[in-house]
Structure 1
């Protein structure tokens, strides 16, 4: 049984995927730390937060453990105006992620194997639940969690289209979750099958060997709308047979890069709901990403 914080308002966008508790040491690397903060980390909920901040209705669907960390996550997302379509698992826990800061940057440790979210399976969202939504969004993290979540994503693509929604997919490769070959094959299949696909140029080169935006488009010809992000260079959109549109990224004093890609997707999707010209959609993505790049958090601040 999926519980919702608001069953009356049909969301414009539904985001589905795992959100974990995030523990970040504040006084030293993890091995010697005595103080830490607890927040949350999840690509799909980051996107949901950005869409809510843009003034659109959005739902986040997932499973959480019956534990204080699950309560903490759901409380924070509800505070941001996100509808919660969640199941509570009284056996499997909420996943946890630790940041380990170091001189060369932060590394991460995942404790998400056999988490509540990894137990999502086909039919987790019944097709009738998707009715009325315009976009269903997920990422390449979700199919990497378990065989059942991979099967769920495959069915989600079909069910979303049956319900009349477009499928949005952010490649978001996570090396720690699966083998390079498994990731390359599965992510290519899903990215090419989506209606809207986001991928980083460097990410695509790492997993598929495609060095340029044009090469990525040739590699993913089936995707209706492909958005290739190239860090501080800019982003290029390939919309069907139309000429590609490139918009340069603004200059930003970066505080923390984590979450910027999710913010970009949120800004772009919110502008897509308004059927704005492609250059404006890309600019909206850049503006949303810049807002997150300037702060230490992964989500935009609540105004």
Structure 2
């Protein structure tokens, strides 16, 4: 029996403060949780019954303690270094059904200090999928170098590379983001991208245009919100599955949930249409709540 997790997800997770009784400007109460694309995916995979690990750095502070404790209770295995010199990042959210405004305080965070030596091929032995997102290389030059090293280590270890473009516009210049995200998305074994974010980054307006822009991605999944998702795999005909109707409470985190559902189905060896359908189902569960993850019992 393998002692390795099925999936390793690498990236920053921050403390999340969400206004509870109105917008941040006037709210008198708030909830404290956490938010991080990669840890969301790890938690979703753990909930689906897979061994999922999350790799990152956290500050040696109460927010870091809280994040680590919550993820452990969700069944996520931690590969985390605690940084005595830098804090856990914090973000504040104004939630809303039409979209949330999020304010980040992550400059100089512990996770932004991650570097190319964080993970090597030996530490990925037996791992089936390595997952990260376009947020991670945007955090710092050293994080960008780490993602390149992660891709190389995953290849050497025989793991599939899963990459969610997940563009965060405020984090870096648009031209630098466009170049780096294209290079990484085109090199991954499984690439997730939103149709709207691809148009914003690269000017590609349709799923077919995105595929033409990313011909190197072995499996490309283009998500188009409430319309549905299209998968392009090698020379196979594209597979489209419509998104089910959902009464949206809050949209943030749905993309991560989709990735978790899709990757779980991939680990099962499910047909492409089922992978997309399970991605939609997973996203739908998060769209119906005002949080990135369901509450712990």
Please classify the TM superposition score into its range, dividing by the shorter chain length. over 0.9
Determine if the alignment matches structure 1 residue 74 to structure 2 residue 68. yes
> Is residue 171–residue 199 contact of structure 1 (8 Å, CA) maintained in 2?
yes
Deviations, residues 217-260 of structure 1 (Å, cap 9, x unaligned)? 00000010000000010000000111110000001111111111
Deviations, residues 19-45 of structure 1 (Å, cap 9, x unaligned)? 000011223322333211110010001
Equivalent residue for 2:118?
Answer: 124
Provide closer, same or farther for how the CA distance between residues 87 and 253 of structure 1 changes in structure 2, counting only shifts above 3 A: same
Equivalent residue for 1:90?
Answer: 84
Q: In structure 2, how many angstroms separate the alpha carbons of the residues matched to 1:301 and 1:68?
A: 20
1:286 match: secondary structure: helix
| Count of matched residue pairs | 296
Determine if the alignment matches structure 1 residue 210 to structure 2 residue 210. no
Aligned alpha-carbon RMSD (Å): 1.4
Provide closer, same or farther for how the CA distance between residues 102 and 195 of structure 1 changes in structure 2, counting only shifts above 3 A: closer
**The one of 26, 29, 33 aligned to 1:35:** 29
> Is residue 271–residue 280 contact of structure 1 (8 Å, CA) maintained in 2?
yes
**The one of 13, 33, 43 aligned to 1:49:** 43
1:107, distance to aligned residue in structure 2 (A): 1.4
> Is residue 173–residue 203 contact of structure 1 (8 Å, CA) maintained in 2?
yes
Determine if the alignment matches structure 1 residue 234 to structure 2 residue 228. yes
Q: TM-score, normalised by structure 1?
A: 0.95
For structure 1, the residue ranges without an aligned partner over 5 or more in a row are: 1-7
Equivalent residue for 1:194?
Answer: 188
Equivalent residue for 1:157?
Answer: 151
**The one of 252, 262, 267 aligned to 2:256:** 262
Equivalent residue for 1:3?
Answer: none
> Is residue 120–residue 150 contact of structure 2 (8 Å, CA) maintained in 1?
no
Q: In structure 2, how many angstroms separate the alpha carbons of the residues matched to 1:222 and 1:102?
A: 37
Provide closer, same or farther for how the CA distance between residues 127 and 103 of structure 1 changes in structure 2, counting only shifts above 3 A: closer
Q: In structure 2, how many angstroms separate the alpha carbons of the residues matched to 1:100 and 1:186?
A: 29
> Is residue 53–residue 300 contact of structure 1 (8 Å, CA) maintained in 2?
no
1:106, distance to aligned residue in structure 2 (A): 3.2
